[in-house]
Amino acid sequence: MMGVANLLDVVFSFWTGLAILTIILVKSSVKFVPQNRAFVVERFGKYNKTMVAGLNMLFPFIDKVAYNQSLKEHAFDVPSQAAITKDNISLVVDGVLYLKLLDAYKASYGVDDYVYAVSQLAQTTMRSEIGKIDLDKTFEERESLNINIVNAINMASEPWGVQVMRYEIKDIEPPRTILDAMERQMKAEREKRATILESEGHRQSAINVAEGAKQAQVLAAEADKTEQILRAEGEAQAIIAVADAQAKALDTVGQVANTTEGQKAIQLDLAEKAIEAKRAIAKDSTVVLLPDSNSGAASVVAEAMTIINTLNSSKVTG
């Protein structure tokens, strides 16, 4: 009985050990790679393959994961450094580098530390690009500086399997004396613009006043012209109306004068006017006129009638 029990123990231990060994082999041969990760596999110390996201197989005790690389985009601070512009002004510049690994094999074997290498390359490239422009341009052309730095870094870092997605300059700090000079310059420029705007305002105001006065004079002249035209037209119409009235009156007088009653009325009117004329002369003159035989009212009326008869006879003859 003891021998059977020992045999069963040995068999159980064998299968147990075999199961444990199988689990260890399966666990070491199966690899689950997370998303946006890459495992670089070496076989006997030599590069074998790159495993991407998902289920992957390895040969136990032969293959091993030498590098575990992240394929996500990372942001790295570029330390502050001194740079000299084209016009020999010293600046302190820092930035942020956005980096992404594209080839895990190149990043693992092409460079020892690709983050440090790219950061150093970004610093040297930034110094080189700033040295090509003047101080004023460094503030105005920051965007173009970022683009030029990215292009230069990508050309140099291609063998390392990484790509710079973008580069942003965080801060550009010129010397204190330059800042003071720039502040004075900006203040002078603001005062200049304020003076120009104020003078433009005065000029525009004067122009508006002059234009208003001009338009007022034009309107006054047009009003005066219109008034004169209307007055002249009114006077002309009045003259025409008076002339028409006089013509109608004369026509009426002429028609009445052709009648017997009209002749008598004319004789009476002429006599009254003659008497009134002699009375006025006698009143205003210091000379006394003695009447003669031909200076009486009857003689005056007779003379007037003679003239009227002559006119009437002329009309009949005509």
Domain ranges of the chain: 2-70, 73-174, 258-317
**Residue 293 scores a pLDDT above 50:** no
Task: Please give the average per-residue pLDDT across 115-124, as a whole number.
Answer: 88
What pLDDT was estimated at residue 240? 85
Please tell me the least confidently modeled range out of 3-7, 93-97, 109-113, 190-194. 3-7
User: What's the pLDDT band for 290 if we cut at 50, 70, 90?
Assistant: very low
Residue 281 and residue 111: Cα distance in Å, rounded? 145
Alpha carbon distance 55, 191 (integer Å): 70
pLDDT higher for 220 or 180?
220
Q: Give the residue, 292 or 212, on which the prediction is more confident.
A: 212
What kind of fold does domain 73-174 have according to CATH?
Answer: Tetrahydropterin Synthase; Chain A (3.30.479)
Main-chain phi, psi angles of 225, to 5 degrees: -60, -45
Q: Residue 31, Cα to own-chain centre: how many angstroms?
A: 62
What is the structure's pLDDT at 186? 78
**Percentage above 70 pLDDT, the chain:** 71
pLDDT at 317 over 50: yes
Assign 98 a pLDDT band (cuts: 50, 70, 90): very high
Predicted confidence at residue 288, as pLDDT, reads 47
Rg (CA), the chain: 64
Selection from 221-225, 268-272, 274-278 with the highest mean pLDDT: 221-225
